[in-house]
Structure 1
Amino acid sequence: MTGQPIPVIIDCDTGVDDALALLFAVRHPGLDLRAITCVAGNTDVDGVVRNTLTVLEQAGAPGIPVARGAERPLIEAPRSARHVHGHDGMGDLGLPAPTRRPVDVDAVTLLRREILASPRPVTLIPTAPLTNIALLLRTHPEVTRNIERIVFMGGAVTTGNATPVAEFNVWHDPEAAAVLLTAGVPITMYGLDVFKRVVVPGSDVARLRTSAEPGVRLGGELLAHRDPAVSGDPTPSGGLGDAGAVCAVADPEGLTTERLPVEVSLAPGPTRGQTVVDRRPRPGESEIHAGTREQPLVDVALDVDEGRYVKLWLSAVEG
């Protein structure tokens, strides 16, 4: 590694894979994690704060400021993903309550403060519903002058998970995602098309689970977490999920992107929350007859070097 560490801020809804992302971010020498902000998503926002502080404590991380953010989307009611991430939102591993505490300012205040105070432009990594980010951009648009890029985990080019076409983070707060796309800074969409593909082999997971080092062992237990409906594999593999987006900041060469127009479907019905990615080589009849609409251009992740990111994550977390 050469050069200075990249200043980053993570906005998360700490469930299983957000925790994997935090473990990587605090241990990779090429990243300078300046702050973490929390939002309702995988579980309620107070659970997200607790889980985030727990990960930092288990990892032996320095005193990174953590702030509580939005407890519900801009318009929708909150809809958790506890059926995936466990009742506590982080695999029901029975971890002790953290002794660390969040800072005494809200997430938007902390985001503004840390972005503007950074001596170098910050890369913002939202791995959650984008409520905090939308509130930040609407309340303090001046922060964009010190944001290098926003790399968000969300959206899908092809198949969704919350609905047939919508990914959970965008579906949870579609209006917030639409605001993000107007940020006026470079944006990378790390969507389900690559998210699902970066999987740690079972043999590596088993090794992590036997580690005497708490952070490494936590990584193994999180990777081994399974939906209770899925019967037990004695050496389960585990997807890195959100952690892949942080890997893409540390090592962007592992990701193949294409700059494409993207918009979020906001209408009620089965397409609400879909990220509509326009991969056509030329305008179609809709644009010809109605006039071309200006759509935000986003660097959309279309392919990923799975093995490269698995190796990168393991090497950082295991040291």
Structure 2
Amino acid sequence: MTTTDRPDRVTDDRPIPVIIDCDTGIDDALALLLAVRHPRLDLRAVTCVAGNTDVDGVVRNTLTVLEHAGAPGVPVARGAERPLIEAVRTARHVHGQDGMGDLGLPAPTRTPVDLDAVSLLRREILASPRPVTLIPTAPATNIALLLRTHPEVTRNIERIVFMGGAVATGNATPVAEFNVWHDPEAAAILLTAGVPITMYGLDVFQRVVVPGADVRRLRASADPGTRLAGDLLAHRGPATDEADPGGGLGDAGAVCAVVDPAGLTTRRLPVEVSLAPGPARGQTLVDRRTRPGESELHTGPREQPLVDVGLDVDVARYVAVFLGAVEG
């Protein structure tokens, strides 16, 4: 990860403790497979929130993916079943009725832990011997509730790397990305967490595509987790070539940004979420200006969170990170 004003951290070869907050979801499943299998990561817990499908479906899908990945012991908790203010608005038209491409996967053999998501997040963050990196790949409802209920957790959070937002074009609306649009108030709270934040938004999210030949190889694997990755990518799209379709890595790119931050080019910029009703609700307003505008000159500067915003990505590098882990 490169930034305009933040020096690179000293390399530490110990696995990075991470917690994923997700709405599994095809590409959330890819993120989970990568997090489980990459040796640089220590996946301490997974928390679930409504988004791509309802929260009970998210829990089921998450447990299923972890079993396929060979990590059934990772604690999983059920979280918020709706946004802070809005109603639930799922993306089953993208992810299938079951949220997992309607692949007909077997039901998981275990159940979530007997804790709600916020309680599990607090427990695992404070119990970690090293600061935790949070990777929200979903609407930020659970994270917002955690930060408001237990603000003391920020002392043991290294960074939040979230999949959400867009500098340019949205997908839920012309200007708003789905995760932020689904719960704008929660996203606004996340941005004011008081810890370093990286925004892995649509501008880089949509660019990382696994080539068709690699997808076919994954689908032919005898390993359940590797084969699942291929099946999910085949459903995911977009096509790199009509005759040889590839699969978008999606949320797994945010995990790549934790594993290999140098593959993501960022700038530290002011970011805020549009909360007013109307067509701009849920937009992430990213200020890329090099000098103050008339608004600031007339009324003075406003306090805005500074975020390391992903602006460019080394596609081949992140594809290699993913394939090396899920096939390893």
- Using the size of structure 1 for normalisation, the TM-score is 0.97
| Partner SS for 1:74 | coil
| Partner SS for 1:299 | strand
What residue is the counterpart of 1:272 in the other structure? Answer: 281
Selected match of 1:174 from 164, 180, 184? 184
**C-alpha contact 1:206 1:235 (8 A) present in aligned 2:** no
Distance 2:58 2:70 in 1: 18
What residue is the counterpart of 2:259 in the other structure? Answer: 250
Unaligned runs of 5+ in 1: none
**C-alpha contact 2:26 2:236 (8 A) present in aligned 1:** no
What residue is the counterpart of 1:187 in the other structure? Answer: 197
Cα deviation, 1:44-66, whole Å, max 9, x if unaligned, reads 00000000000001111150000
**C-alpha contact 1:36 1:67 (8 A) present in aligned 2:** yes
Selected match of 1:317 from 300, 323, 326? 326
- Using the size of structure 2 for normalisation, the TM-score is 0.95
What residue is the counterpart of 1:36 in the other structure? Answer: 46
Distance 1:3 1:274 in 2: 37
Cα distance change of structure 1 residues 283 and 141 upon mapping to structure 2, 3 Å threshold: same
Unaligned runs of 5+ in 2: 1-10
Selected match of 1:158 from 150, 163, 168? 168
| Partner SS for 2:139 | coil
What residue is the counterpart of 1:217 in the other structure? Answer: 227
What residue is the counterpart of 2:7 in the other structure? Answer: none
| Partner SS for 2:138 | coil
Is residue 120 of structure 2 the alignment partner of residue 110 of structure 1?
yes
What residue is the counterpart of 1:203 in the other structure? Answer: 213
Shift of the alpha carbon at 1:235?
A: 4.3
The range that moved more, 61-70 or 149-158, is 61-70
Distance 1:233 1:212 in 2: 27
Selected match of 1:21 from 12, 27, 31? 31
**C-alpha contact 2:272 2:305 (8 A) present in aligned 1:** yes
Shift of the alpha carbon at 1:290?
A: 1.3
Shift of the alpha carbon at 1:101?
A: 1.1
Shift of the alpha carbon at 1:217?
A: 0.3
What residue is the counterpart of 2:158 in the other structure? Answer: 148
Is residue 150 of structure 2 the alignment partner of residue 131 of structure 1?
no
Shift of the alpha carbon at 1:233?
A: 5.7
What residue is the counterpart of 2:290 in the other structure? Answer: 281
Cα deviation, 1:255-297, whole Å, max 9, x if unaligned, reads 0000000000000000000000000001101111111101000
Shift of the alpha carbon at 1:236?
A: 2.3
Cα distance change of structure 1 residues 260 and 50 upon mapping to structure 2, 3 Å threshold: same
Shift of the alpha carbon at 1:2?
A: 6.1
Distance 2:28 2:211 in 1: 19
User: Taking every aligned residue pair, what percent have the same amino acid on both sides?
Assistant: 84
> Which consecutive segments of 4 or more residues in structure 1 shift more than 3 A?
232-235
What RMSD, in angstroms, separates the aligned Cα atoms of the two structures? 1.5
